[in-house]
Chains A and B, each alone.
Chain A
Amino acid sequence: MHRTRPAGAIIALITVLALMAAACSGGRDEGGTNTTGPGGTAGGGEGGFSIDLANCESYQPTQGVTEDSITFGSSFPQSGLYSAFAKISVGYEAYFRYLNETQGGVAGKKIKVITRNDEYLPDRTLANTQELVQKEGVFGMFNVVGTPNNLAIRDELADQCVPNLFVATGSPRWGEVESYPWLIGSIPSYATEAAIFADYLKKNKPTAKVAVLYQNDDFGESYLTAFRAAIEGSEIEVVKTATYNTTDPEPRDQITTLAASGADTALLAATALKCPQSLNLIRESSWNPLIYISATCTSSTVVGLAQPGANDGVLSSIYLKDPSDPQWDDDPAMQQFRQFGAQYGISAEDLENGIVGYGWTMGALLAETLRRSPEITRQAVMETAYSLKDVQVGLLLPGVTINTDGAKDPFPIEQMQIGRYNGKYWELVGELTSLEGKSGQFTK
């Protein structure tokens, strides 16, 4: 039996209408105001790299740029398991405030960043990016966190010819400049890092027997593949490998297996909580290898989670000045970071955090790229980003300079130094190693 419910249906409809009206604002505006047809390439940055606009679905060279400002968008986890990455934005937002207030931004334009929370979910990153580009009208994306997240947005941004600058992930896939000239990486690729550790071993432990623990995905495999390529022809050998899944509670069995292999060196291509867990498990066993951990774990908030003693003497690769390291107390760049960082919104606790220092450095890198760009158009800025010469900004270690040259040299940071953790900060060991222009060769 059916009951009559005209009012029910109407009330439901009114509810939906009201919600729709509340949800949305503004009409559909097809086509931008300053769209130019696809076509010719204007003279680019200082180098020879140029981007062909023929493949652009629609090219809007100066969206997001006004008389006195240039607006970027960013998407990263601000809540949930990965929200530690949100600290990066603390660094660059303070840098932009400092730059805007003391120097009026770059070329008279203040730099603004609109951020969105994606909780590390790629579909949310995509939705956020679409909103930022279409509704907020940003010039480009900046420092989007996460490899899958950037993979989710890179095709669309490439087709619309929107810059995706200095992404906060080290996947070797960011070297695919031929197909994706609108995305550029920032941190050293994981492959670069593994090669630098191999280089350290060749010099200091030329007959090392290495056990590798790696995350069962592209991230972990990048290390293993590159490390194997880098030790070819040397007497170093990989004697045992073990993998874990990100969903595993802890890599206990894997560490037991590796410990039994008789290796004297451990390469831990692990990240987040798995780093301190692995260090603790090794400490608990009777195994006493030389340990290398991924540079993604070097933040004191991660490596500091290991039990006292478990992280002593652990090695990793460093390319930024550690704010906790007293040797930089008199360093002008560090003093600038401390003084203006505190003045423009970084808390005392965050000033000691390496990941905030990374954000500060990325802010400086973006500003420098805009400064060097012959004009503020999407094409010119992207071409400049891929033609950087000898850029030394923010908290980069002495000797680390950023050089890029399109597909020939796509990775901005390729010099690193081995650091040894002493329980408080990373002590620099040996010489800076440079793989400038060579990172690509370790990817496969």
Chain B
Amino acid sequence: MRRDARWWIGRVVAGVLLGGLLLWLPQSYPAFRVNQFSLVITYAIAALGLNLLTGFNGQISVGHGAFFGVGAYTVVILVADHGWPHFAALAMAMLLTFVLGLVVGLPALRIHGLYLALVTLALATVFPQIVVRFRDLTGGTQGKRIPRAEEFVAPGWTGLANDQWRYYVLLAFAVVAFVAVRNLIHSRAGRAIIAIRDNETAAVTLGVPHRAYKVLVFGVSAMLAGMAGGLAKFYDPFVSSGQYTINLSIILLVAVVVGGTARILGPAIGAFLVVFIPIWLPEQYPQLSGVFFGASLIVLMMLAPGGILGLGTKLRLWASGQWRSRRPGPTSLEPGAVASES
């Protein structure tokens, strides 16, 4: 279908507005709020990785919090104990989580659906215990911190406060990651990845090397989560065993689903919501915060079963009167086929 002028204008306007907003945020908000935005960015990158795996490739992982944790610990240990520069440590964190992702991805060749979810669940549960077991390396329950003098700080020439600089650096990484994943999805490899999700047997018949793809996608997905964890240590230099539990894995999965499964920007919106919904909730009843959070997610999913971005599509279709007649095509980028994978 030919893209008309309206499409381009919409794109450009949306892009400029969104870009301007993201660049303007740290100029306008105090440091603690900017740090919360930085947290959104790290969750968005991790959820982007998870979305690539779950949304586009149909492999469920409930263990991405562990990859996030590995990335975070790698950066803290290398910077704090071995004096590595932050970016080198981040590269190592990505390499390490990529390899770890490949290793975890191997059993995924034979295990599908819920069983795979269970394997990754084990990963999420075991990670905090491993941290405690290797206490000399990790700091255990007391945690480990990048010394104040070696924290990631804004260079003098920028004239920025540390929190602002960290936000912009994280944002740059996020933009690169999102563009890269978007391009991947729209490439030949991306179509193969989606074909495996929609009908693996058919994909194999058509000559898609499904094993290689599945393992590689697992690796890249884990690498993105590890990168997010490593980047988180650019603005929050502390790690401890209680931080990267199964809860984080679930939060990431929630971010993917709430934002819109198999949507490029879905994880970003989902990450924003999972960070800020608990902050908006009333402070008077802290014991109920989990209940409120859960309830708001249920309401959200009832209003927008396809995620926030799915809601956008739905509204547009409804406005143009096509809602009833819409059916997703077999190679659709949209969700819908995910859940029905055999």
Residues of A at under 8 Å CB distance from B? 1-13, 15-17, 19-20, 22-24, 26-30, 78-79, 83, 86, 116-117, 120-123, 126-127, 130-131, 133-135, 147-148, 151-152, 155, 159, 171, 216-219, 245-247
B286 near A126 with CB under 8 A, answer: no
A119–B316 Cα distance when bound, in Å, is 41
A123–B241 Cα distance when bound, in Å, is 11
- Does chain A have a CB within 8 A of B31? yes
What is the interface residue range for chain B against chain A?
35 or more
Q: Specify the main secondary structure of chain A where it touches its partner.
A: helix
B128 near A9 with CB under 8 A, answer: no
The 8 Å CB contact of B140, one of A2, A26, A216, is A216
B3 near A245 with CB under 8 A, answer: no
A6–B1 Cα distance when bound, in Å, is 14
Once A8-B309, A78-B286 are accepted as A-B contacts, the answer to whether A16 and B272 lie under 8 Å apart by CB is yes
Chain B residues whose C-beta falls within 8 Å of the C-beta of A5 in the assembled complex: 7, 312-313, 316
A28–B160 Cα distance when bound, in Å, is 13
Once A24-B29, A83-B287, A219-B141 are accepted as A-B contacts, the answer to whether A15 and B308 lie under 8 Å apart by CB is yes
Once A127-B32, A135-B30, A155-B145 are accepted as A-B contacts, the answer to whether A217 and B132 lie under 8 Å apart by CB is yes
A120 near B238 with CB under 8 A, answer: no
**CB<8 Å pairs between A and B, sample of 27:** A1-B329, A5-B7, A6-B9, A6-B11, A10-B10, A13-B18, A15-B312, A17-B21, A23-B276, A23-B279, A23-B280, A79-B287, A122-B238, A127-B39, A130-B31, A130-B35, A131-B32, A131-B33, A134-B31, A135-B30, A135-B33, A147-B142, A151-B143, A151-B238, A151-B240, A152-B145, A219-B141
A48–B135 Cα distance when bound, in Å, is 39
Within 8 A of A (CB), among B103-140: 128-129, 132-133, 135, 140
B33 near A7 with CB under 8 A, answer: no
* Count of chain A to chain B residue pairs whose CB atoms are closer than 8 Å in the complex: 163
Once A19-B273, A130-B31, A216-B132 are accepted as A-B contacts, the answer to whether A121 and B316 lie under 8 Å apart by CB is no
Once A120-B242, A217-B140 are accepted as A-B contacts, the answer to whether A13 and B132 lie under 8 Å apart by CB is no
B9 near A8 with CB under 8 A, answer: no
Residue among A7, A116, A151 with most chain B CB within 10 A: A7
Chain B residues whose C-beta falls within 8 Å of the C-beta of A135 in the assembled complex: 30, 32-33
Q: What residue of chain A has the Cβ atom nearest to residue B164's Cβ?
A: A28
Once A130-B31, A218-B142 are accepted as A-B contacts, the answer to whether A12 and B269 lie under 8 Å apart by CB is yes
- Does chain A have a CB within 8 A of B290? yes
A116–B308 Cα distance when bound, in Å, is 29
Q: What residue of chain A has the Cβ atom nearest to residue B8's Cβ?
A: A6
A12–B31 Cα distance when bound, in Å, is 26
Within 8 A of A (CB), among B154-184: 161
Chain B residues whose C-beta falls within 8 Å of the C-beta of A152 in the assembled complex: 143, 145, 238, 240
The 8 Å CB contact of A7, one of B36, B287, B316, is B316
A2 near B1 with CB under 8 A, answer: yes
Chain A residues whose C-beta falls within 8 Å of the C-beta of B319 in the assembled complex: 7
Q: What residue of chain A has the Cβ atom nearest to residue B26's Cβ?
A: A28
- Does chain A have a CB within 8 A of B23? no
